[in-house]
Structure 1
Amino acid sequence: MNTGTRARLERIGTDGNYLTVPMDHGVTLGPVAGLRDIESTIDAVTRGGADAVLTQKGIADRVHPNKNDAGYIVHLNGSTVIGPDENDKRTTGTVEDAVRAGADAVSFHINVGSDHEPDQLTMLSEVTSDAHRLGIPVLAMAYARGPGVDGHDPESLGHAVRLAEELGADLVKTAYSGDAESFEYVVESTAKPVIIAGGSPEGDRAILADVRGAMDAGGSGVSMGRSIFQHDDPGAMAGAVSAIVHDGASVDEALDRTGLDA
């Protein structure tokens, strides 16, 4: 890893752990709650404890005045829920676009096991080459998704995160396998930091329990979108997750510290 990549990676985390709030869902879902006034949401989650926020390049001018010195990641592919295939993520920008937008890092989504995996393999490899030439870290969102693929199977997730490392990613996001014991296999499948997606657990306690489990398994944090930015109190939820990721808090301690209901 070159000096620039290492320095910028530090801007999107704290002491090797990461709390990223992705808000690129405007492409996938449209202007859903939490994203219409994205300025207020970004201000709340970064004040609450998010290390970095993530958007598509076109939102950059709405991000920078409101991110409170947090890091910024530009996402480089996407798809929509109303299109023919949500797993068919297409390129939406380049590393150079992200640099012009003031990004500290870039991210790229790949669905391992999908019909689109071959093209996405090529695209991720090209992104990592371009990014490292410029000293920009790459967050690979590597999911196990496709016909007959169990998206929470630890062996499939382990394959996905290892693939991301093999193609040059510096940080890897994937789904949580459901418990700390099985997630250890996923974390041990790569030498790169592994962070979990938010998933769809119901209730603050369940969400935080997944975060605690991932950290207990040796994970390095989370990249959590709707569970934070659509929360009734995004800042408090970011604070609760941060308490676990950065301070080693238990679920109960995180809830108590932020005043959230269990």
Structure 2
Amino acid sequence: MNSTGTQARLERIGTDGAHLIVPMDHGITMGAVQGLKEIESTIDAITRGGADAVLTQKGVAPRVHENKNGKGYIVHLNGSTTIGPDENDKRLTGTVEEAIRAGADAVSFHINVGSDHEPDQISQLAEITDEAGRFGIPVLAMAYARGPGIDPEDPQALGHAVRLAEELGADVVKTGYSGDADSFQHVVESTRLPVVIAGGSRGTDRETIEMVRGVMDAGGSGVSMGRSIFQHEDPKAITRAVAGVIHDDLEVDEALGNAGLALEA
């Protein structure tokens, strides 16, 4: 699916094929939570800390560009809220063309594989990859294993989700983490796409960096990690620690130490 334009823009949201993306589209989902009220300063901190790209909904674009320090920008194209009837029912919030007008280097789309909404989301993702291909815009598919009776950390289900993203024409795929490097290797091997993981709800600094280390040890390509970074007391420092693992192949203690974070955290 990669045209010259798509490949050029992929390089804007990664470094040497590895990705440290910080999604901050949570305002539509959760409201103006910690780290998102003054999103300008958060974006400045994480991009100075080593993030390759930030991600928001289209309406926040004017608050992004002056603060992203030349890093990449991704516009997310669907969403839902935690106070609505069904958070898994992600609805379209934009188009590829709108994302381009907002200055995006790539677009992203969330699909819950195994949910009641999977059929509509499959069709929508297929349409988005087709439209994006015409414009040379990369697509990050956020493909999660979520639905009745599905374990969201099951490596078989996660492997199915990432393969679905490749089958539908995505360029990068984000999914959940299976809990350890050995099991996550199956997920990575289920597709030829670069695989990045979600951070989920925030844990300790050590838990965050150990998870990133596990992803890279399994052959993954990085993270698309939101709350663990933008809700941190020092977003620049935790970004630097994550970047140390992804881009410099540091071990956990060295990454934490270089970032000035307590090793016992």
**Structure 1 counterpart of 2:11:** 10
Query: How far apart, in 2, do the equivalents of 1:107 and 1:67 lie?
Result: 18
Shift of 1:52: 0.1
Shift of 1:100: 0.1
**Structure 2 counterpart of 1:36:** 37
What does the per-residue CA deviation read over 1:165-199, in whole Å, with 9 as the maximum and x for residues that have no partner? 00000000000000000000000000000000002
Equivalent position SS for 1:191: coil
Is the contact made by 2:202 and 2:227 (CA closer than 8 Å) also made in structure 1? Answer: no
Query: How far apart, in 1, do the equivalents of 2:236 and 2:63 lie?
Result: 18
Shift of 1:101: 0.2
What does the per-residue CA deviation read over 1:69-123, in whole Å, with 9 as the maximum and x for residues that have no partner? 0000000000000000000000000000000000000000000000000000000
**Structure 2 counterpart of 1:177:** 178
**Structure 2 counterpart of 1:222:** 223
Shift of 1:157: 0.1
**Structure 1 counterpart of 2:73:** 72
**Structure 2 counterpart of 1:104:** 105
Is the contact made by 1:142 and 1:173 (CA closer than 8 Å) also made in structure 2? Answer: yes
The TM-score normalised by the length of structure 1 is 0.99
What does the per-residue CA deviation read over 1:26-64, in whole Å, with 9 as the maximum and x for residues that have no partner? 000000110000000000000000000000000000000
Query: How far apart, in 2, do the equivalents of 1:42 and 1:7 lie?
Result: 23
Query: How far apart, in 2, do the equivalents of 1:181 and 1:123 lie?
Result: 33
Query: How far apart, in 1, do the equivalents of 2:81 and 2:23 lie?
Result: 16
Is the contact made by 1:112 and 1:142 (CA closer than 8 Å) also made in structure 2? Answer: yes
**Structure 2 counterpart of 1:154:** 155
Is the contact made by 2:195 and 2:221 (CA closer than 8 Å) also made in structure 1? Answer: yes
Equivalent position SS for 1:202: coil
Task: Read off the aligned partner of 2:249 and give its amino acid letter.
Answer: G
Query: How far apart, in 1, do the equivalents of 2:228 and 2:28 lie?
Result: 18
- After superposing the two structures, state which structure 1 stretch, 226-235 or 201-210, moved more: 201-210
**Structure 2 counterpart of 1:207:** 208
Is the contact made by 1:176 and 1:199 (CA closer than 8 Å) also made in structure 2? Answer: no
Shift of 1:201: 5.4
Query: How far apart, in 1, do the equivalents of 2:101 and 2:177 lie?
Result: 33
Query: How far apart, in 2, do the equivalents of 1:185 and 1:201 lie?
Result: 25
**Structure 1 counterpart of 2:195:** 194
Query: How far apart, in 2, do the equivalents of 1:200 and 1:46 lie?
Result: 21
The TM-score normalised by the length of structure 2 is 0.98
**Structure 1 counterpart of 2:139:** 138
Equivalent position SS for 1:84: coil
Is the contact made by 1:114 and 1:146 (CA closer than 8 Å) also made in structure 2? Answer: yes
Query: How far apart, in 1, do the equivalents of 2:188 and 2:67 lie?
Result: 33
Query: How far apart, in 2, do the equivalents of 1:38 and 1:217 lie?
Result: 33
Task: Read off the aligned partner of 1:260 and give its amino acid letter.
Answer: L
Task: Read off the aligned partner of 2:54 and give its amino acid letter.
Answer: V
- After superposing the two structures, state which structure 1 stretch, 19-28 or 193-202, moved more: 193-202
**Structure 2 counterpart of 1:126:** 127
Query: How far apart, in 1, do the equivalents of 2:228 and 2:180 lie?
Result: 19
Task: Read off the aligned partner of 1:209 and give its amino acid letter.
Answer: E
Query: How far apart, in 1, do the equivalents of 2:170 and 2:151 lie?
Result: 23
Task: Read off the aligned partner of 2:29 and give its amino acid letter.
Answer: T
Task: Read off the aligned partner of 2:163 and give its amino acid letter.
Answer: R
Structure 1 runs, 4 residues or longer, greater than 3 Å off: none
Aligned residues: 262
Tell me, which stretches of 5 or more residues in structure 2 are unaligned? none
